[in-house]
A = this chain, B = another copy of it.
């Protein structure tokens, strides 16, 4: 009867089964078991004394790792149960928001949660790539238009069956989110991250995870390496790596941009490229006006690289996007909607994607901007994409929305925040409902896999987001809405849009905001609810509860330590290594090669420095690379090809070592460790149930 309380993956039998498909030696298996059991043996007695309710010897199996949380006066059984309940609740909340938006939620976690709630939560298949030989820009076979009507209300697009339903205000039955519920859920999690017992519990669990990995490394490092040596034809150089966070306008190296500018000047100096003050200027005139000869340009005078001057100065960093400090050159070379229809920008991006295709194993997910300044941005962007044939098999596109309502408002480009949201999202709904009317956008959207929310997080907002916050139509103030307000409204629209698109059999979008790079840790709470995965996550350092939640829910984090090193946090203080060791799902990304990197291969530079400085093993870097594929917006088919047919399964079963070069011992370790952590939460709640209190 006790056995049934023990969660499946903790059972001896399960462990053996898990090993079965791995093809690893008995010796290794034994060592791994010894490691897992070691912790229990040391202090089982001690544990039994403390947790007196458990009296049967078999119970120590359940409690074997819990004791690390209880073996100090800092935490009582009651506190542990309280913390477990709280954490479970947070996971349920994230599960709900993930499900609503067709975001991913890890199977293993869902399985544990399903112990007393049952709903299925299957990962969604995002963006199938164009099939072999298919024209990626083809406007054949576009679905028919529907007679649906659309209307924006409270900053969210509502979908109506037809004009009549609209007039009767009967929207289609899609899940529409509501600000109040979100505000309440948010405040729940906010309260939880400052709750004392929960903080202690999470802090101790995280320390335990760190120490446990250290033990794993000591015991299994050579065995992992041996496994990898046995893998034919696969090593760190030919496992797939996705640059999960990179801005298109800075995706080339500074040297590349310099050469590109010099080349255009050499070959097209007399081309009209810019309109300024009503006058059309040739490239030659632009440079004359700037009083410089492109031949003399150097990376020093180009001045796009971050340096000591940009540390803690996001404003100075932003101005580095202007080559030679001249916004004219940014306009000509790094914009999609300029006088030359973004031709130069397309060309330089295609040079970058050509290099990726050559490398074969490197992919990137560059961010293109939609500002919400006007409603025609999408048409212009998709036209640019198709006209210049920007698609590449090694690039998936993400749309970044800068949080700069206040700038548009001050320039009187928009009247309220709802208008900005409408400019961003309504065109997407229109293209989804009536794709025949928006063929180019429809095609472009096939290659867009997600949305990002970007800007300086350290900027302070005076407004405190709550259920009393004004609706977007009422947000007419000059000041910028706070981070959470942005996130909720982007999430809400993406969620409705994804549901609508799923109905139509179209691709869905992930929400992948910048989060936790700087500013308040509440940002990380908002993203815990709304984001499929995030970029940066540095501030998880500051909150043990959030860090533990991101671990439990395996929220992917695209980290960019070289970017951080130039902007917010010195390399030696970057938590990536610690996060990786504890088992958070981290990947490596470049952010802005133009500003931060020195070599031709920015992503390899990022990996090389991390490997050198943190002495990462081959297994470590390959685990990061595998995480990057998982995190990415690559299609199901591609992921199967890159990391193995069963990649959706958790643990060693889901790992094809011949493709990922990640040791099965490592996969087993990660899986069992996560199962252990989850089972403590479930067991605590169950124990409580068993002695009479019902879980809420």
Interface, chain A (partner B; CB < 8 A):
221, 225, 228-237, 255, 293, 295-301, 303, 307-308, 311, 562, 565, 571-572, 596-601, 604-605, 607-609, 611-613, 615, 617-618, 661
Contact = CB atoms under 8 A, between A and B. Distances in A.
A105 to B, nearest CB: 33
B308 A615 contact: yes
A233 B296 contact: yes
Contacts of A605: 599, 605, 608
Given A233-B297, A608-B609, 12 more contacts: A232-B298, A233-B298, A235-B299, A236-B300, A237-B255, A308-B617, A311-B615, A565-B612, A598-B607, A598-B611, A599-B608, A605-B605
A382 B608 CA distance: 37
A300 B226 CA distance: 9
A265 to B, nearest CB: 13
A231, A301, A307, A612 pick with most chain B CB within 10 angstroms: A612
Which 6 A/B pairs are nearest by Cβ-Cβ distance?
Answer: A232-B296, A235-B298, A598-B608, A235-B299, A228-B300, A229-B301
A611 B565 CA distance: 11
A280 B617 CA distance: 38
B562 A229 contact: no
B237 A295 contact: no
A608 B596 CA distance: 10
A232 B301 CA distance: 9
A120 to B, nearest CB: 39
Contacts of A604: 598-599
Contact of A600 (B228, B303, B601): B601
A604 to B, nearest CB: 5
A612 B615 contact: no
A298 B612 contact: no
Contacts of A617: 307-308
A231 B599 contact: no
A571 B609 CA distance: 11
26 contacts: A228-B300, A229-B298, A229-B300, A229-B301, A232-B293, A232-B295, A232-B296, A233-B295, A233-B296, A300-B618, A300-B661, A308-B617, A562-B612, A565-B613, A571-B612, A596-B612, A598-B604, A598-B607, A598-B611, A598-B612, A599-B599, A599-B608, A600-B601, A605-B605, A605-B608, A613-B613
A565 to B, nearest CB: 6
Nearest to A311: B615
A298 B231 contact: yes
A230 B605 CA distance: 29
Contacts of A596: 612
A596 B608 CA distance: 10
Contacts of A562: 612
A323 to B, nearest CB: 12
A530 B380 CA distance: 70
A608 B600 CA distance: 11
A612 B612 contact: no
Contact of A608 (B234, B301, B303, B597): B597
Contacts of A229: 298, 300-301, 303
A612 B612 CA distance: 13
A198 to B, nearest CB: 34
Contacts of A236: 299-300
Contacts of A612: 562, 565, 571, 596, 598, 609
Q: For A233, A255, A598, which residue has the most chain B Cβ atoms within 10 angstroms?
A: A598
A257 B225 CA distance: 20
Contacts of A599: 599, 601, 604-605, 608
Contact of A572 (B231, B308, B572): B572
A428 to B, nearest CB: 39
A612 B597 CA distance: 8
A300 B232 contact: no
A594 to B, nearest CB: 14
Nearest to A618: B300
Contacts of A296: 232-233
Most chain B CB atoms below 10 A, which of A230, A231, A236, A295? A236
A320 to B, nearest CB: 13
Contacts of A225: 300
Contacts of A295: 232-233
A540 to B, nearest CB: 23
Contacts of A615: 307-308, 311
Nearest to A307: B617
A213 to B, nearest CB: 14
A237 B608 contact: no
A311 B308 CA distance: 31
Contact of A234 (B231, B298, B571, B613): B298
Contacts of A303: 229
A599 B601 CA distance: 8
Nearest to A605: B608
Nearest to A227: B300
Nearest to A308: B615
A613 B308 CA distance: 11
Contacts of A255: 237
A599 B608 CA distance: 7
A301 B301 CA distance: 45
A674 to B, nearest CB: 25
A299 B621 CA distance: 13
A255 B359 CA distance: 13
Given A307-B615, A307-B617, A300 B235 contact: yes
A303 B296 CA distance: 45
A300 B663 CA distance: 12
A93 to B, nearest CB: 39
A467 B600 CA distance: 55
Nearest to A299: B235
Contacts of A572: 572, 613
A432 B197 CA distance: 82
A243 to B, nearest CB: 15
A613 B299 contact: no
Contacts of A299: 235-237
Contacts of A221: 308
